[in-house]
Amino acid sequence: MKGKIQTVLGLIEPDKLGVTLTHEHLLHDLPLEVFRKPMPSSLPSELSASHSSVSMENLGWIRQYPYCFDSNNAFSDASVRSAILEEMKFFKLSGGNTIVDNGSVGLRAKDQAEFLRNLSAESNVNIVLGTGFYVSMSQTSSTLNMTQEQMAEKMREDILNGVDGTMVKCGVIGEVGVSWPLEPFEKRSIRASAIVQQETGCPVIIHPGRDRKSPEEIVRIFQETGGKVSRVVMSHLDRTLFTREDLVEFAALGTFCEFDLFGIEVSHYQHNTNVDMPSDAQRVDHIHSLIKEGYGDKIVVSHDIHTKHRLMKYGGHGFSHIIVNVLPKMLNRGLNTQDINKILISNPKSWLTFQ
């Protein structure tokens, strides 16, 4: 695999990657209780968390409080699969070429590997599937009891032989899910990921806890185990680090810095109501700041779509939002074509190529 990129349809040359989104979900089966948030008392009583479907009548409420609606969070049913296929075709027409599906254990649907293989073949979009383990609260009791070596062995199997008896091999470790404070299971997961990265040359992508200290703590544990941080993407920095100073300080540690919540233009953040979710304009501004500080080679972007309301079929921005809507704003805000090509093509290629 050295010098290649592993997709669900097999190995490809890095130059075949093209425009790449590094953090998406084309299917997931995350337990609803992990997502679910209580309905605020201010919402009309008829908006039931368990019965309201996504419609024009409640789309405004769902955009504001997405995790209150179970039907919005279910992301593996037939309607989602149909919508994803149409989205991938549109993504390809818009100039997109590759999607990284962060399908680690705790997120992955039972038939995810086969679904993604068929999806890639039908849409002509490269898809890279993830392995590893999501946050502890998404895991079964048997998974939580796995040793570090057992976790590493599961990753090796997914990368070298294929997922759950299929011939579909994973091309990335992640998303590796971490809470705050870190759970013992999650520390074992980080260490196991570092070990398998050393053995296979596989890239890694990590979901930090919702605290500004989390990304640096993860890097410390990963490095102590011998992991190569230059081959790591740290996700969700746009909801974790909010000042230029914090972003520049973290970028100096050497990971790829990912801004992956493009398309979310609601300041209320249900998973951490003490902070304000930034807008796309603020994300672009932070990216521009990092470029001016010399970190243009270490930035990647995505949408992290994982709920129905963000799909075009349900009134959302869809997977082509960055290409169609954000790139013109980047050019308007002082980035140049070379900067954008690094973010969407060169940097993902550097990260995803096995070493």
Nearest-angstrom CA–CA distance, 75 and 328? 30
Using an 8 Å Cβ cutoff, are 158 and 167 in contact?
no
Q: Tokens representing 153?
A: 């062995």
In a domain, 6, yes or no: no
Q: Flag whether 105 is in a domain.
A: yes
pLDDT tens digits along 296-317: 999 999 999 999 999 999 999 9
- Residue 25 has a pLDDT of 98
pLDDT of residue 41: 83
What's the confidence (pLDDT) of residue 43? Answer: 76
Domain CATH number, residue 217: 3.20.20.140
Tally of domains within the chain = 1
Structure confidence by residue, pLDDT tens digits, 201-239: 999 999 999 999 999 999 999 999 999 999 999 999 999
Domain presence at residue 54: yes
Output the CA–CA distances (angstroms, integers) from residue 295 to 20, 177, 253, 280, 329, in the order listed.
Answer: 19, 25, 11, 19, 20
Give pLDDT tens digits for 273-287.
999 999 999 999 999
Give the mean model confidence (pLDDT) for residues 102-122. 97
Q: Is the dihedral angle over the CA atoms 242, 270, 234, 223 positive or is it negative?
A: positive
Q: What is the pLDDT of residue 212?
A: 97
User: What are the tokens at 69?
Assistant: 């609606």
Alpha carbon of residue 91 to chain centroid:
17
Average pLDDT, rounded, for the chain: 96
Does 3 map to a domain? no
What is the three-state SS of the chain?
Answer: CCCCEEECCEEECHHHCCCEEEEECCCCCCCHHHHCCCCCCCCCCCCCCCCCCCCCCCHHHHHHCHHHCHHHHCCCCHHHHHHHHHHHHHHHHCCCCEEEECCCECCCCCCHHHHHHHHHHHHCCEEEEEECECCHHHCCHHHHCCCHHHHHHHHHHHHHCCCCCCCCCCCEEEEEECCCCCCHHHHHHHHHHHHHHHHHCCCEEEECCCCCCHHHHHHHHHHHCCCCHHHEEECCHHHCCCCHHHHHHHHCCCCEEEECCCCCCCCECCCCCCCECCCHHHHHHHHHHHHHCCCHHHEEECCCCCCHHHCHHHCCCCCCHHHHHHHHHHHHCCCCHHHHHHHHHHHHHHHHCCC
Residue 45 has a pLDDT of: 74
Query: Tokens 């849409």 correspond to what residue?
Result: 123
Average pLDDT over residues 129-153: 98
Q: What is the pTM of this model?
A: 0.97
- Closest C-alpha to 91, from 124, 130, 116, 118: 124
Contact 43, 163 (CB under 8 A): no
Give residue 231's pLDDT: 98
* Residue 51: per-residue pLDDT: 60
Q: Domain range for residue 37?
A: 14-41+49-352
Residue 46 has pLDDT above 90, yes or no: no
| Position 110 in a domain | yes
| 1 assigned to some structural domain | no
Q: What's the average model confidence in pLDDT over 158-173? A: 96
pLDDT at 40: 85
Please report whether residue 2 resides in a domain.
no
Question: pLDDT value at position 299?
Answer: 98
pLDDT, residue 48, reads: 65
Q: Is residue 4 part of a domain?
A: no
Tens digit of each residue's pLDDT (9 = 90 or more) over 47-83 = 765 567 888 888 999 999 999 898 999 999 999 999 9
